[in-house]
C-alpha cells in the first residue's frame, strides 16, 4: 500500500497524496522516485485513516454541507 | 483535453493491469485519459534487471489508469535499474 499526506480529494474520490512512501519498498520498488502521486478513485479499495487524527464532528458537518451543495 | 506547459513533466503511470509506463505528461481530461510523450514501459522481473521498452507518443485511456506519480528526476537518475529485482505488479481487483 501507499502511505502519504492527503493533499486533496475530488468528486470522483480521486486522491492526491504528497510525500509518499511504500509500505514494502523492497518488494515494490516501482515508486522509489515518486514523491507525489494522483490515485484514480475507481481503483481504491480501502483508505486507512488513523482514527485519532480525524475530527469526526468537523467531518460530518463538512460532508453534510457538501451533500447540500451537490443537491442544489 | 487539458494540456500542460509546466507542472508534472515526467510521470510514472501504473495501469490497472499492473504495468508501469514512464513518460512526459502532455495532457489529460476529466476521465483521466492521458497523453504521454517519450514514453517507455518499465518491465520488472524477479530474475533480471528492469527492461525498458520504448513506446513514443501514447494516448492512455482513463479507464486503465490506476496511479500517476510525479517522478523526481534526481532520485530517478540515481536508480540503478539494472540491479532492481521485483515481482511484476498484479492487476487491480484480484
| Chain A touched by B75 (CB under 8 Å) | yes
Buried b / exposed e across A23-54, counting CB within 10 Å, b at 16+?
A: eeeeebbbbbbbbbbbbbebbeeeeeeeeeee
Does B48 reside within a domain?
yes
Does B24 reside within a domain?
yes
Specify the CATH number for the domain of residue B68: 2.30.30.100
Question: Higher-confidence residue: A45 or B80?
Answer: A45
Chain A hits for B68, CB-CB cut-off 8 Å, are 37-40
Alpha-helix runs per DSSP H in B40-80: 73-78
Specify the CATH number for the domain of residue A59: 2.30.30.100
CA angle, corner A59, sides to A57 and A62, nearest 5?
110
Measure CB to CB from residue A34 to each of B44, B69, B84 and give the nearest one.
Answer: B69
* Rounded average pLDDT over B58-65: 92
User: Which pLDDT score is estimated for B42?
Assistant: 81
Burial category of B86 from C-beta neighbours within 10 Å (exposed 0-12, middle 13-18, buried 19 and up)? middle
Total domains, chain A: 1
Does B34 reside within a domain?
yes
Does B2 reside within a domain?
no
Residue B94's pLDDT band (boundaries 50, 70, 90)?
low
pLDDT tens sequence across A8-48: 888 888 888 888 888 776 667 777 788 888 999 998 888 88
Structural domain including B23 reads 10-83
Does B5 reside within a domain?
no
Total domains, chain B: 1
Structural domain including A48 reads 1-68
pLDDT tens sequence across B4-45: 555 668 899 999 998 888 899 999 898 999 999 988 888 777
Q: Is the pTM of this model over 0.80?
A: no
Amino acid at each position: 500500500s501507499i502511505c502519504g499526506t492527503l493533499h486533496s480529494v475530488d468528486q470522483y474520490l480521486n486522491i492526491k497524496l504528497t510525500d509518499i512512501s511504500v509500505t514494502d519498498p523492497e518488494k515494490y520498488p516501482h515508486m522509489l522516485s515518486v514523491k507525489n502521486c494522483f490515485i484514480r478513485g475507481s481503483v481504491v479499495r480501502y483508505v486507512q485513516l488513523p482514527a485519532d487524527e480525524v475530527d469526526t464532528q468537523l467531518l460530518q458537518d463538512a460532508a453534510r454541507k457538501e451533500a447540500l451543495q451537490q443537491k442544489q | 483535453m487539458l494540456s500542460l506547459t509546466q507542472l508534472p513533466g515526467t510521470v510514472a503511470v501504473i495501469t490497472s493491469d499492473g504495468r508501469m509506463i514512464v513518460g512526459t505528461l502532455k495532457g489529460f481530461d476529466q476521465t483521466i485519459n492521458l497523453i504521454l510523450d517519450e514514453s517507455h514501459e518499465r518491465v520488472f522481473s524477479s530474475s533480471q534487471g528492469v527492461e525498458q521498452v520504448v513506446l513514443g507518443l501514447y494516448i492512455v485511456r482513463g479507464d486503465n489508469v490506476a496511479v500517476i506519480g510525479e517522478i523526481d528526476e534526481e532520485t530517478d537518475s540515481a536508480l540503478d535499474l539494472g540491479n532492481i529485482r521485483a515481482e511484476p505488479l498484479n492487476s487491480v481487483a484480484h
